[in-house]
Every structure is written in C-alpha cells, then in structure tokens.
Structure 1
C-alpha cells in the first residue's frame, strides 16, 4: 500500500456533482495534491448538502451522477496522475424521508418480518417502532392516500390488509407509531447517531449486513476506483475494532483512516488495522503552537466542571431512551432501585474523559470514571459497584451498549454544548480539543510530532474540515488575542457597554467571532449566532427557542453594522490583528503540510478563508479564482525563483497562502525522500521563543510564532538556527534553497531565513 502524499477535500453534493468535481483534476495536480478526498458518494437523502444521511448504500448517488459519473471522475483524476479517497458512513442511515430509504420503508411496512429488520438496531420487545415526527400529540392531521399514511409532507407505508377505517385506526394497525417529536428522546426504540432521530444505527457487526452495505464500496476497491477510505465516526459501532478488521481484510491494500476523536493524551487503539486518524489531534497540536500560554484569561467555571455538568445534562435531556434500554438489560433493579441504576449509568458516562473504551483496551478509563462517580455521588456507590462487573465484560450486551452510549454523550455534551458555553477563548473550542489547554510549547509539539512519525506516519493531518467550528484562518487570527489579552479585555469591555447582551458567556463568543471573521456578511453571522446560541442551550435552545434573546442578539449584530462608530472600531481592531493573523495562518499551514502524516487541504482553504461552523463552511468555493491565481503565481514565481521573481505580498489576496500550499504540496509529492524523518531544529538568541523549526530529512520547515511579541521586541535580532552538526554549512550541503521563494539562503540568521515571508521551507542543495 502507498499512502497519499496529500489530499484535497471536496464537498461533492447535488449542486457540485461528480462531473463538476472531475473538472478540478488539473487544478489539483497543479496545486500539488496527490489525491482528491471526497464527501460520501452513496445515495443520500434527496437534496442532502453533505451526504452523511445515506439512504441506499448499494448505489452511487444518482443526484451526484451515479456510477457512470464516478467512472468519469476517476478517469479524469487518473489522466492527471491523481487518486481518489472516499468517505464512507458505516454507522447509520438517513430516515428523514422514509420513502427515499428502501430498507427503512420495508421495515416500516413489514416490521419484524422485513428482510431488512436485522439491518437496524431496533428493540422490538418494547412494541411497534417509534417514529417521533408529529408536531403535536394529536393524530388529527393524519390522512390515508392510497397505500400510504400521510402527515403533511411526511409519507409512511401501510401494511397489506390494514388500510380500512379512519387514518387514526389505520395508524394503530401499523408496525410503527408516529408520536410527538418531543417524545422521541424518552420513547425511541432504535439506536440512532448521537441524538439525531433521523439517522438510524446500522448493525454492521452482522457479517450479512456488512456485506450488503459494503458491496458497492468494495467494488470500488476491487476495480481500482479508490485508493483510500475514510471511515466516519467508528465510535458509534458495536465493535469498532472488529469492523475495521473486517474492512481491512476486504481492502488490504487501501489507505484507511478513521474519524476517531482522540482526547488529550489518548492514544489510537494500537490493535486497530488502520493508518491513522483524520487528524483532529494534529489540529490541536498545530493550532496550540501559535497561542501564547503566558497569560490565559481566567474562566468563570473550570472547564472540567462545565464539561461534566453538560454531559450529565444531555444524559437526562437527550438520552433517556438509551438509559431505559440499558436498564432493561440490567433487569430487576433490586435494592438499588431503577432510578439509582439510571443515575449510576449517567454518572459513569459523565465521568468519561474520552469518547469510549474498546474493552479490554481502556479498562483503566472505566475504573477512573467509576472512582470519580463514587466520590461525587456516594449514595450511588453500591449501584456503581454492582454494575461494574457487567459494564467491563466485553461479552455482555450491557457493556457493549454502554460503550456505544458514552461516545454520544461526549459528542453532545462537550463538542455540541459545553464548547458553545465555555467561551474564554474560542479558538480552542474545537473537535477533539481541550479548551483548558492554553497553548502548546514547541518542545511539546516536537514530542507529539516525533511520536506521530514513529507510530502513525500515514495518518491524516488537518486544520479545517466540514465539522470544525471555525475555519483555520479565523482561529489563526484569534490566536493573536492570546498575545494581547489585556488590550482585548479593554476593547471588548467598551463594546459590551455600548451593545450589551444578557448572556455574558455568549457575549464572549459574539465579540471574538466578530474580530476573528471580519469582514464578514451580516446574514452569515446572524445564522451562525442563532445556531451557536441554541447549541449552548443556555439562553435559548433548539427545543425551546427564546425569541426575546434571539431578537436581542440579532439587534446587537444589526447595531454593529448600522452604528458607524462601533463598526469602524470593530474594523480597526480587526485590521490591527489581521497581519499577525496572516503570519499565524502561514505558519500553522506550513507546519501542518510538512509535519509527519498525510496533510489534507479542505476545499478553498488554500486562500484566506473566514468560514464558521457548518453549513457556513460548505459554501461554494470559487475554484476559477484559485485556478487563475495559481497560474499567475507560477508565471511570476518560476520554480527556479531568484532575481526577477515577483513574489506576492502577504495581503488580502491570499496569494501568499496559495504559494505556501502549492509549494509545500508539490515538494511532498515530487521529493518524498525529503520527508522521511523528524528532528527538531533549535533557534538560539533573544527571539528564540518566536521560532519553530524541524527537519524532515532534507526539508527544513521554519515558522514564526507569537508575532506580536516578536514585533514588540524589535524582530529577530541575533536569533539564528542551530543545525545538527553545529554549523550552517555541513557535510550534507553547502547551500539551502527556500522552496517557497526559490531564494538561496546562505545564513542561519532568522532575519535572513525569514526575510521574505514569516515562514520558509528550506531544501539542501
């Protein structure tokens, strides 16, 4: 198996289908990518903008062009020397439009007698399948239309011989029960993805289900259409390790990465037969390098307390149905009492500091969670002790289902709630991130990078994905605030006095978002702030929107744009931090592209990009602009560089970032021998803390960090690189060339190395 040198992620979707994607092949080759990395390609809910709600895993999505269009895409890629990496979704299928999912439709129609009943994780012992879709508890709006039961735009099948009588009578004879949507979290009797009732869990642990749901994907492997597979959210599966072993056996020569969210210090299970993760762990390490750890703002509440409380909250608010199912597996509660059993399960899940265990691997995580739960709730100690043997026995159904639940609790409690409430510094509030970890020192980064090189050299690295909460350049600009915490506090205090909000935590997110993404369209911000406030579940929520609070947020946002003085203040402050943000952007991008691992570039991020959370980060990308700008760069800055080259400035055009991305990707693709090792390279001198450098085995990355402090200190001064061997010229070569500029670099002085850009990519000889 040969892993990609790099990937470029494209959100293939109905309005940017496979044939349109094929038109990117030459651009991606010119950019330097070796593989196109696509969003899911199997048939999804009609109109799906992302493809993760698969409705038929047996076919390439007709909305994307079908199998013939996939063949055309692969042919276009091969003609340019490129490969394809496909995203797959084994854990769940989409239910939002039941008629679009032939397997789910058949289960609704035939119940336990359906040939697809075994595909889905349904607890039939509790009665008919619960479908929480009604807008009220009333069934008055049901109607019969031929062989279908209709509820407004929703359609459901009528089983044979049950269609006589009123719609309510017909409904009572079906294998399913339509209930008020608010009852879903309490009554649901099928496993879902996290707390999304429109995504039903699939039992891929069953060999027959695996074979049926992976036949098309494995055809792509067998016919050489794909070179790599990205597995979406394996933590929801009953047995992730077993699933991955089966997939590896079926695709032994395919590059295989998993969207496994690793918490700080958590290793990827070493027994998994994969090449690595999709890179959220690398994102945290790289972004942390550009945050000044010297003076973190003081939080109102410790992060661990906030995360624990939110996990407990979602257990009671979103996952009572899952708790009830676990309690049924436990059986008669005895002296502990049913409420105590469910409370004990909730406390245990809330005390997990990772998504889940993979017993017997990770037993120590369970033991620590149990210890903390007993300390917090001594009254539950007996119940916890009684449950522990079963919850750690991997042959016990209770243990397997509890492992599936803890990941959902972490995702909803921390990633989707706490990270919208604990807003002291939102650049850190990312998937797999630790908001309490204020900055990563260079030594810590080097240690992590060396470990990645030893253990997972073919794992993916990333800075932006379709799931990140803000784009990489927004985070890079926010990182500047860590260097000017006192100034930022004063500025923000003034703005909050002029345009206050009733929720102090949300105010933090509001003003940080403004300066991190400015200039940005008002409507994009309005949509983002509505989503962020509802996710926080503090002053408003998805289940119970508070119109007064949301109107107040919208009014405050409108004032920022309408009040000329306030708008100019925001713009002026954003302009003050933007050049330093650009420096951070170039630095973190070059580090990510050249560090150990397979770097991914998310669509459009080769230029400055100020996206926020989805769907904002799935906006259309102007590829024509990027194609033209790259061609202009290549004409102005030929590979040889040198005198006469017109290097782009670090300015609003983003050309400098495109230069960094294209030159780094091309070097990794064309000269892989330069990236076979990893050694930190020290900087010595008065500004040494502002540089990070490492040698990959012939390619030397040098970047600037903490640029505000560097400027305040007068620049690089006497600071220089200290190469292994003690000198600038050594036994390997006499000169170094900057692959970004083509300029010969003859001095180790950082003022010389970084004379053109705040980053350099040096090559011996």
Structure 2
C-alpha cells in the first residue's frame, strides 16, 4: 500500500489548473511533502471553483487542461518522487446545467426508459421529475422553444422525441419533468440531493453498474500508478457506505484510502470499512482543543448570557436541526415517512423527523453501531412521548430490516440533518466561543486537557496510524492560524469581555449571536480587508437563519451588516482600540500556531498541509479559504530556510515554514522515527504548559500551550522535561537539548528533538 509521509492540499479550478499544480512539484519536494492532494479533478460544472459538482466522471476536467495535462502532472510528480491523492465524489453529480451532464440530460429526455434512469435516486412513483428552477409557478408562461429545446432564460431542457408540437406550455406538459417555482424544491423535490442543494442530484452508487461507470476512469488512473490515494467525499450520504468501501478497496487494493467521515468524541470508525482512516477532523478537534484553556468556560458563558446569546447548546442544536427537518429537508422526510407502516401519516413524519433530530452522531450503519440508533430512538421518545406509537413502529421496522429502504433512507438523511442543522446553522447561532465551532467539533466541550490528548493520540497510533490528520481544509469554518489566535481569547476572558462591551456600545450589530461572532472574527483575522469580512458576515447571518437567510431576506438587516466592517474600521478611535487588543494576542497566537502545527506534523497519522498554510494564513470559511496563494514568496522563504536561516517569529510567517519544512523532511527521510507514541510529562511550576511525547525511542516533540497564562504566572521557572537517555538535538535550531524547559524554549516555543544514535 502506498501511504504518503504527508500530503499538500491544492484547490484546482480554471484559474489554477493541472499545469499550475505541476509547477509546484519542485517546491513541494523541497518542502518535504510526500503527495500532492488535489480537489476533484473530473469534469465539473463550467466555471466551478471547487470541482465537487461533477458532470462527467469519465474524463479529466477540460477546464483544468484535460487528460493530456493530467498525465503530465502525474509524470512530473512521479519523477519528483511524489504521490497523487485525488478527491472523489461518489454521492452526487451536478444537474445545474443539464446539457453538460449527458446522463441527466438523457434521463430528462426519456424518463424511466432512459438507460441512465437507475443512475439517479429518483422517486418515479410521484410522476415527472420536479425541477424547481422557475421564479414561481406562473413563470411557466415564459417558456419558449428554441433549437428543439425548452428554454427558460439561461436554462435549457430537452424535449422528448415526438412531443415538440404546440405551444411551449403544451410541450412542457408532455415531458418527463416539470419546471416549477424554486421555492417548491425543499418540500416537493422528487429526487434525492446533496443536503439542500437541488443542483446536486444523488447517485445510486450502490448499484454495481453505476459504481463501474462513475469510478472507472479514476480506477484506471490508480491501476496505471498515476493516482496513489483516494479521499472519499461524504460517504455518509451513500446507501451502504461499508459496501461501497469494500468495493472500492477491491478495485484499488494498493491505494491509500481515507474517508471524509466526521466522528463525534468517542465514536469509532466502522471497523468493517477497509479504509486507512478519516480525513482528520477528529484529529483537528483534539489538536486544536489542547490549546484552549477550559477554565474560561464560565466567563464566556456569562458574557454570552449578558449579550443575549443563547448558551444552552443542546437546545440551540435541537432547534436548528428541527428547522432542517421541518423547512429545508421536508421532501426527504416525507419520502422516508411514506415508507413507514403506520396509519397516521403526520405522526409518521414527526417520528422520522424527531429521530433524526435526536441522532448522537451523523448516522448509524446498521447493523453496526446499533447503540447509536437506540440512543436516537430513546431521545426521540423522551422529547416527544406523544409519538410513542409511531416511534415504536419506526424502531421495529428498522430493526427488522436494517438493510431495507426505510432504514437505508433514514440513515442517509440523518447525516444531512446533523450537518445542516449543526455545522451550518448551530455553529452560526451558538457563538459563545467561536474557536470551538469547527467541523467535527463540539462547542459545548470547552477545550481538551493534556492527558485526554495523549489517550486519543495513542489510540490513533494503535488503530489508524495511516489516517489523515489536518488543521485546515476547504470546509473548515476558519483556518488553523485564525483558530490559533482565537484560542488565545480563552486566556483573556475578562479583558475580551470588557472590550466587547465597549465595542458593542460603539458599533454593535443588532443581532446578539452575530455581534459576538463578529468581534471574535475581527480580532482573530485583523487586519482583514473589509470586503472579506463583509462577505463572511453576510454568509454567517444567512446560515444562522435568525434575522435573514439565503431564501428569505431582511434587506435592511443585510444592509447594516454589509456596512459594519467599513463603519468599524473607519472609526479611528475604535480601530485603534481593536489594534491595541490584537497586539496583545498576536504573539501568543503565533505560539499556538507553531505548537499545533508541529503536533499535527509529528503525532500519529498522515499530516495534510492545506494550500498556503505553511505561512500564517488568517482565512475564514469558503470561498475565503480558496484565495490565490503567493508561491513566489513561499519559495523564497523556503530557499533561505534550506540554507540554514532560523527566522524570527514575526508577521512574515517564516518561522512556521521552518517548523513545517523541518518536520516534513524528518518524516520523509527518517520514517522509522515516527512509530509508536508515548506521553512525556514535564515537572515543575509550569508543567501544565508543556505538551510532549515520544514517537519511538529516537524522537521527542515538545510544545508550549496556554502562553498567556504561562507569562502571567512568571514563566517557566523551575520546570523541567526529563528526557530519555542520550544526547538530544533540536532539529529546528541544531542545538543540543537540555531538560531545563526555559532553555529548551528560549528560541522557539516548540522543539523537535532527535537522539544522536537515531
């Protein structure tokens, strides 16, 4: 099996193609990367900036350079000794522009008689496929026929053979689809989709024919040795994730395979999945959490209460999930409820919805993980005792047929309810301490202590040593350095609370949760350009769905939010106050950044470096995190580091590149050092501010945590880190190590120690 020492994630798009990625080969080799890790490379919707909207899985995307450029990229990576990991999307395909998706076009043309009718998860029993693209239902009067196609402004649809006579409206009535007002989609859609995105139609990849057609090209690349690893997007949406992974492994026996599976604390990865691990959100939660001071929880709860931000996390989460079942995924809930053998249709619908609201994890994988299903049913019964009969019927039917359609669909959909309700709604409403509001995170768990981190790291080493680990992805709510600086706020709860009170009195946003989120965002990304902050706050306000949303706009509120960044930064006195506060958390934020990066690069697992984050990167949620990366600057700094420069910790971020390069090179050149995991514990007055461990007998990693509290308490004082026998040298500085922690950390707040005989 080809397990890379590390990966480097790039976001391919028409402005950054296969050729541009190939141009990074030398830089990535010199940085110490083991494999390029690319966003989806199959043909996608024209102009797509991310590639998850695949329209043709049988060819490399022409807008990226097509097959010739793909082959050249593979060739250059092989020559440099790098692997290639590609992101694949088995759950759905884009139907936004029907004509570029030839399978969907054929389904719309021929309906159930299409040779591709079984490719998509369509509820054929409900009549023609519903396409919610019109401004409203009356807009059907605006349809025209042009070039043998039915046309609505920029939208074009096929006309079935022999049905093209008469008015456009008459032609429309004869088709295998119906164009309706866009607002009807959530409640009436007749095909399964990706979350609430009607432009992404779910694919029935559980069908062996569909699997072969959708995976054949990528598997050919694997067989040819061009692709060495696969990252599988959203397996929770599949009818049978375990069966899918078994089929994938059979067809790609030598590939490194990681699943984009979000695990709740304590939730195991299904052991029947033949994968190497997850894509690392569990590791992110653990690594980021150990740099958050749990002692700040009461102060931030009090501040949120004072400002009118709700602090009952589980109540907020349940309310947000219920919003998803009752207003957003209504069509999906109804389709599932119709499968339940129960005489009361409404009770059946509510029982299905309540069970998905109550899921303790994203989904169950019956018959595996039956306890998660039991927990959901029990919680639903407690929340809605009036639904006892319907819940009993649901529980009995699902248990009787764990592979049946009812069980399958409710499990597929529960993941969408949890993700949409928690990640995309709750995380923008429950803003008590935003650094915890991360994909795979649990905002109600305020940080992680060192002993718990050690336990979880050892478990990863024992169970999934080849799992991916990450700190930043294309889906994270904020980049690792933004999160690292935001984590410092846990060490200054009183000072930040006072600042927020002052700032809110001066320029507050008239919605408490967004107001508290905005100030945390501003200080953790300062100095951010107003347009970037404006776009982020607009997205945050709409995702929260409190005062406005993507579909129901409060124009006045949105206008006020849009003006806020310029108003704040244009207020000289306020801006100076914010800048002064940021100056106090910037240095500790850099310390956190270096600490969490070194831990991620050296702890059990295969570390991924997200594009550009080898320097400081204060990005927010997509599309902010897809901005172009200045590789010329990174190459120049790397050249200096390779020549031996030991940069200062300053705004350039060169110190982070030093840490990244040295750790990656050590992993690459001495992989035997990175086997095993054993905690090391400091002793003395500031022992709690050290996180340290052995990776095998010849490697020690030690980093600083909670640097503000450390300084307040008087520094390291008598703290020592007892090292195993031998002469230890810090790879970052070339200096011999000493047990005295003050000396150990006097150059950088992190050390990477190798024993002389190693």
2:228 paired residue number: 227
SS at match of 1:340: helix
Query: Is the contact made by 2:355 and 2:380 (CA closer than 8 Å) also made in structure 1?
Result: yes
Q: Distance in 1 between matches of 2:498 and 2:361?
A: 36
Q: Does 1:515 align with 2:523?
A: yes
Q: CA deviation at 1:391?
A: 2.0
Q: Distance in 2 between matches of 1:754 and 1:674?
A: 22
Q: Distance in 2 between matches of 1:666 and 1:13?
A: 29
Q: Does 1:179 align with 2:170?
A: no
* Residue pairs, 1:480-629, within 5 angstroms: 480-629=488-637
1:641 paired residue number: none
Q: Does 1:403 align with 2:394?
A: no
* Residue pairs, 1:236-385, within 5 angstroms: 236-296=237-297, 297-298=300-301, 300-331=310-341, 333-334=342-343, 337-385=344-392
Q: Distance in 1 between matches of 2:566 and 2:595?
A: 34
Q: Distance in 1 between matches of 2:498 and 2:141?
A: 57
SS at match of 2:294: coil
Q: Where do 5+ consecutive residues of structure 1 fail to align?
A: 638-645, 725-729
Q: CA deviation at 1:228?
A: 0.5
Q: CA deviation at 1:568?
A: 1.1
1:695 paired residue number: 694
Query: Is the contact made by 1:391 and 1:402 (CA closer than 8 Å) also made in structure 2?
Result: no
Q: Distance in 1 between matches of 2:256 and 2:508?
A: 51
Q: CA deviation at 1:287?
A: 0.3
Q: CA deviation at 1:67?
A: 1.2
Q: Distance in 2 between matches of 1:498 and 1:75?
A: 58
Deviates more, 1:161-170 or 1:121-130: 161-170
Query: Is the contact made by 2:206 and 2:240 (CA closer than 8 Å) also made in structure 1?
Result: yes
1:215 paired residue number: 216
Q: Distance in 2 between matches of 1:218 and 1:77?
A: 18
Q: Does 1:652 align with 2:651?
A: yes
Q: Distance in 1 between matches of 2:364 and 2:338?
A: 22
2:200 paired residue number: 199
SS at match of 2:491: coil
Q: CA deviation at 1:2?
A: 3.2
Q: Distance in 1 between matches of 2:329 and 2:531?
A: 33
Query: Is the contact made by 1:43 and 1:56 (CA closer than 8 Å) also made in structure 2?
Result: yes
Query: Is the contact made by 1:351 and 1:370 (CA closer than 8 Å) also made in structure 2?
Result: yes
Deviation string for 1:602-639 (max 9, x for gaps)? 0000000011000000011011110111012222x1xx
SS at match of 2:254: coil
Q: Distance in 2 between matches of 1:743 and 1:16?
A: 41
SS at match of 1:683: coil
* Residue pairs, 1:472-483, within 5 angstroms: 472-483=480-491
Query: Is the contact made by 2:86 and 2:230 (CA closer than 8 Å) also made in structure 1?
Result: yes
2:118 paired residue number: 118
Query: Is the contact made by 1:682 and 1:723 (CA closer than 8 Å) also made in structure 2?
Result: no
Query: Is the contact made by 2:21 and 2:73 (CA closer than 8 Å) also made in structure 1?
Result: yes
Q: Distance in 2 between matches of 1:207 and 1:736?
A: 55
1:682 paired residue number: 681
Q: CA deviation at 1:308?
A: 1.1
Q: CA deviation at 1:531?
A: 0.5
Q: Distance in 2 between matches of 1:752 and 1:141?
A: 76
Deviation string for 1:6-27 (max 9, x for gaps)? 0000111111000111000000
Deviates more, 1:373-382 or 1:429-438: 373-382
1:640 paired residue number: none
Q: CA deviation at 1:558?
A: 1.8
Deviates more, 1:552-561 or 1:425-434: 552-561
SS at match of 2:295: coil
1:10 paired residue number: 10
- CA RMSD in angstroms, aligned pairs only: 0.9
1:151 paired residue number: 152
Deviation string for 1:705-724 (max 9, x for gaps)? 00001111221111011235
Q: Does 1:443 align with 2:465?
A: no
1:643 paired residue number: none
Deviates more, 1:378-387 or 1:272-281: 378-387
Deviates more, 1:295-304 or 1:256-265: 295-304
Q: CA deviation at 1:328?
A: 2.2
Q: Distance in 1 between matches of 2:226 and 2:261?
A: 25
Q: Distance in 2 between matches of 1:194 and 1:501?
A: 30
Deviates more, 1:275-284 or 1:540-549: 540-549
* Residue pairs, 1:83-94, within 5 angstroms: 83-94=83-94
**What is the aligned counterpart of 2:736 among 725, 744, 760?**
744
Q: CA deviation at 1:85?
A: 0.6
Q: CA deviation at 1:61?
A: 0.5
SS at match of 1:720: coil
TM normalised by structure 2 equals 0.97
Q: CA deviation at 1:548?
A: 1.0
Q: CA deviation at 1:554?
A: 2.1
Query: Is the contact made by 2:336 and 2:409 (CA closer than 8 Å) also made in structure 1?
Result: yes
Q: CA deviation at 1:323?
A: 1.6
SS at match of 2:700: strand
SS at match of 1:179: strand
Deviation string for 1:366-408 (max 9, x for gaps)? 1111111111111101110111111232132111111101000
Query: Is the contact made by 2:2 and 2:229 (CA closer than 8 Å) also made in structure 1?
Result: no
1:419 paired residue number: 427
Q: Distance in 2 between matches of 1:39 and 1:372?
A: 38
